[in-house]
């Protein structure tokens, strides 16, 4: 039986870190203490004007390909998870394919599941590989959320950052992705959304991110705990068999509450929200790449990736390195 395993990781953070004090200096009515106490966020990265989501995806992908030791044309599937594409169409995945110089006719498409997007992308790509139709997939989470924020709303604008993370997923005889679970419940769409749209060449409605923070917190903690138990049950494991948990980096309080519900010490949770903020679909692959490159994640270890985002969508992947 063929498995799908991660062969390489990469990431990209635009520019220099922007501190909470920097936001205050820009005129946002907040403070470093207020942000840190409520979110755990100290810095984030913001893309400069002219930089595109596909640019961030390109840099992260180049690093992932180098990490895997393969050339772009060895990729036969490109999946990009993003809620902030370069344009309505073509897909950011197709634009990334062009920038990487992939000319072999590889399939390329975007996935829109907001902060769960990378989990969705990884699970979908794994199915392609397990079916035997594809051998190597590039799965990317890339976002420039700073362009859909209302910078007068301190309850949301301080939370988010920009970035990209990527992995190369390839067919293997050794176990890689062990289990996955994906879910959605559209009844909760109003608690986290960008309600506007584009019609007749104009933005219609509200083009900025809107969030009911308390409702999101309650929903996220419940489903994140449930979906981890789901993938562990599929594989016959308990949390004792998990070396690392890499959750979507939304808010330190959500991470702490989820770890407590799973009876996992925070020492086994990879945390980057303090330095990256919430980068939506990019947050999990960014954290994964960091933990791989600093040596925390080693060969043979089991890692659970999990995310929850607007839609509402949520999911988890259990994998072995």
Convert the pLDDT of each residue in 121-159 to its tens digit.
999 999 999 999 999 999 999 999 999 999 999 999 999
Report how far apart, in Å, the C-alpha atoms of 69 and of each of 8, 14, 63, 75 are.
8, 24, 10, 12
Task: Give CA–CA dist 91/108, Å, rounded.
Answer: 8
- Could you read off the pLDDT of 35-53 as tens digits, one per residue? 999 999 999 999 999 999 9
pLDDT digits (tens, 9 = 90+) for 149-165: 999 999 999 999 999 99
> Quick one: pLDDT at residue 199?
86
Known active-site residue 58: no
pLDDT at 200: 81
Indicate which residue of 134, 157, 251, 278 is catalytic. 278
pLDDT tens digit sequence for 251-309: 999 999 999 999 999 999 999 999 999 999 999 999 999 999 999 999 999 999 999 99
Whether pTM exceeds 0.85: yes
Known active-site residue 115: yes
- 248 assigned to active site: yes
pLDDT at 183 over 90: yes
Give the pLDDT band (50/70/90) at residue 20.
Answer: very high
Summarize the confidence of residues 234-259 as an average pLDDT.
Answer: 97
Residue 317: its H or E element:
strand 313-320
The pLDDT of residue 312 is above 70: yes
Of 45, 134, 248, 276, the catalytic one is 248
Average pLDDT over every residue of 55-75: 98
Query: Using 50, 70 and 90 to split pLDDT, how confident is the model at 116?
Result: very high
Instruction: Tell me what pLDDT residue 266 has.
Output: 97
CB-based contacts of 89, cutoff 8 Å, min separation 6: none
Catalytic option among 115, 134, 157, 188 = 115
Kindly state the tokens that stand for 287.
């954290």
Name every residue whose Cβ is closer than 8 Å to that of residue 235 and which is 6 or more positions away in sequence: 178, 179, 318
3-state class (DSSP) for residue 112: coil
CB 228 within 8 A of CB 245: yes
Confidence category of residue 201, pLDDT binned at 50, 70, 90: confident
Domains and CATH numbers, the chain: 3-174 (3.40.47.10), 178-320 (3.40.47.10)
**312: Cβ–Cβ under 8 A, 6 or more apart, which residues?**
184, 185, 186, 188, 189, 191, 192, 219, 223
Residue 225 pLDDT > 90: yes
8 A C-beta contact, residue 316 and residue 228: yes
Q: Which residue do the tokens 């996220």 mark?
A: 220
pLDDT at 198: 87
| Secondary structure tally for the chain: helices H, strands E | 10, 15
Confidence band for 203, pLDDT divided at 50, 70 and 90: confident
Q: Using CA atoms, how far apart are residues 158 and 146, in angstroms rounded to an integer?
A: 10
pLDDT of residue 1: 61
Cα R_g (the chain), whole angstroms: 18
Q: Which helix (H) or strand (E) holds 304?
A: strand 302-309
- pLDDT score for 313: 98
């Amino acid at each position: 039986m063929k498995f799908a395993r991660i062969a390489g990781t990469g990431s990209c953070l635009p520019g220099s870190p922007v501190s909470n004090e920097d936001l205050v200096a820009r005129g946002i009515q907040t403070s470093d203490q207020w942000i840190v106490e409520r979110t755990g966020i100290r810095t984030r990265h913001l893309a400069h004007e002219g930089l595109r989501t596909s640019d961030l995806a390109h840099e992260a992908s180049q690093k992932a390909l180098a990490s895997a030791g393969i050339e772009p044309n060895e990729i036969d599937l490109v999946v990009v998870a993003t809620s902030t594409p370069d344009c309505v169409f073509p897909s950011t995945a197709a634009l990334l394919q062009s920038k990487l110089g992939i000319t072999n006719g590889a399939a390329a498409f975007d996935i829109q599941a907001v902060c769960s997007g990378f989990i969705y992308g990884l699970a979908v790509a794994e199915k392609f590989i397990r079916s035997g139709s594809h051998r190597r997939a590039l799965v990317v989470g890339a976002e420039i959320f700073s362009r859909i924020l209302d910078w007068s709303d301190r309850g949301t604008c301080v939370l988010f950052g920009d970035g990209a993370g990527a992995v190369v997923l390839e067919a293997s005889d050794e176990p890689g992705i062990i289990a996955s679970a994906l879910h959605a419940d559209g009844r909760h769409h109003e608690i986290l959304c960008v309600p506007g749209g584009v019609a007749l060449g104009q933005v219609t409605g509200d083009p900025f991110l809107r969030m009911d923070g308390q409702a999101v917190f309650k929903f996220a903690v419940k489903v994140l705990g449930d979906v981890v138990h789901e993938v562990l049950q599929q594989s016959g494991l308990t949390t004792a068999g998990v070396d690392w948990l890499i959750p979507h980096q939304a808010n330190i309080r959500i991470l702490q509450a989820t770890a407590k519900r799973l009876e996992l010490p925070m020492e086994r949770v990879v945390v980057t929200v303090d330095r990256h903020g919430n980068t939506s679909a990019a947050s999990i692959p960014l954290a994964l790449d960091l933990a791989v490159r600093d040596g925390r994640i080693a060969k043979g270890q089991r890692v659970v990736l999990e995310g929850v985002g607007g839609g509402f969508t949520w999911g988890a992947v259990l994998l072995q390195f």
